[in-house]
Amino acid sequence: MRILVVGAGSTGGYFGGRLAQAGRDVTFLVRPARAEQLRTNGLQIVSPHGDATIKPQLVTAGKIGSPFDAVLLTVKAFALDAALDDMIPAVGPETMILPVLNGMKHVDTLTARFGDGAVVGCVCKVATVVDQGRIVQLSKLQDLAYGEMDGSVSPRIKQLDAFMQDAGFDARLSTGIAREMWEKWVLLAALGGINCLMRGSVGEIVGAPGGVDFVLAFLAEVVAVVNAAGHPMSEEFLAGARAVLTAKGSAQTSSMYRDLQQGSPIEADQIVGDLLARGRRVGIATPLVAAAYANLAIYQARVR
């Protein structure tokens, strides 16, 4: 199996790097500047699971010669359209596209462009950053789950699972990947929304007067939209989400909030804006989500 990893940043660089380290056939689609950096220094991983420096196989836009068996799509959501244009030659009739983007809007974009059958559900849980070109893993968590969107166990997903196993991270074939993707979005939207709107960590927010009530009300709005969209959240998941979002003294923040603090572009439209739009389409009022999106839209316009 041949896999194209679109992007060699914090997520693509880590999982793609580990696959390459394990001897899998991995090629990275990168911009020319990143390609030059990787050719000079190698793909460097700094991790509690062991450091590594890999000489990666690289390709730039316009240089892809033939389709790949799978494409791991790891760009930020605001860079998706450009990435899709670049990767078109890599996608053939049998190619599996595994997106690890935030939210669910990208699934609609991918299926509209490549068809329902091309998209394989994918969820990653990893804490990594790019520091001076190196991929630095911040914790031991390194889970990659994947599966057919309809929950079936197809021959191609079995082949993909075999490719992912024993590659230096926790790889998991899921028959409920669509549910896992929606659950991740609920948690991301709630955590990102409260962090960014209140400009604080979970512990700082719940420690403020009315903080817990605000967090629970925000989560309730997010869940109401997702439930109305036909993806009801289980009480077990919700109990865990409430515990994470109201943990006293927690320093937890979302990646979107960290990007905002650094003055970087954010995924406001995909994580919060799309949720607001879906709620409006079904007539659900979400005043807290609307306030968070307006706040983020102002910041986003300044950055642009």
Task: Tell me if domain 2-175 and domain 180-303 are identical in fold.
Answer: no
- CA dist 295 and 31 (Å) reads 32
Partners of 191 in the β-ladder: none
What is the gyration radius of the CA atoms in the chain, in angstroms?
Answer: 19
- Which tokens belong to 284? 């659900």
Q: Where are the domains of the chain?
A: 2-175, 180-303
pLDDT exceeds 90 at position 116: no
Q: Which long-range contacts (CB under 8 A, 24 or more apart) does 136-142 make?
A: 136/46, 136/47, 137/14, 137/45, 137/46, 137/47, 137/48, 137/49, 139/48, 140/48, 140/49, 142/14, 142/49, 142/169, 142/170
* Beta partners for residue 122, in sequence order: 146
The 10s digit of each residue's pLDDT in 6-58 is: 999 999 999 999 999 999 999 999 999 999 999 999 999 999 999 999 999 99
- The pair of three-digit structure tokens given for residue 70, joined into one six-digit string: 């799978």
CB atoms within 10 A of CB 187: 17
pTM of full prediction above 0.75: yes
CATH number of 2-175: 3.40.50.720
Q: What is the mean pLDDT of residues 79-104?
A: 95
For residue 77, pLDDT over 90 is answered with no
* Structure-token match 């007067």, residue found: 209
Has domain 180-303 been given CATH number 1.10.1040.10?
yes
DSSP string, 273-304: IHHHHHHHHTT---HHHHHHHHHHHHHHHHH-
Amino acid, res. 231 = H
Alpha helix ranges (H) inside 58-210: 80-87, 105-114, 155-164, 177-198, 202-206
Determine what percent of the chain is predicted with pLDDT higher than 90: 97
**Cβ contacts of residue 287 below 8 Å, gap of 6+?**
221
Beta strands in 56-117 (DSSP E): 57-59, 70-73, 96-99
Q: What pLDDT score was predicted for residue 19?
A: 98
**CA dist., res. 21 & res. 74, Å (int):** 18
Question: Which pLDDT does position 180 carry in this prediction?
Answer: 96
pLDDT band at 277 (very low <50, low <70, confident <90, very high): very high
pLDDT tens track for 168-208:
999 999 999 999 999 999 999 999 999 999 999 999 999 99
Q: Is 209 helix (H, G, I), strand (E, B) or coil?
A: coil
Predicted local distance difference test score (pLDDT) of residue 78: 87
pLDDT confidence tier of residue 234, bands split at 50, 70 and 90: very high
Amino acid 66 reads S
- What average pLDDT does range 264-268 have in this prediction? 93
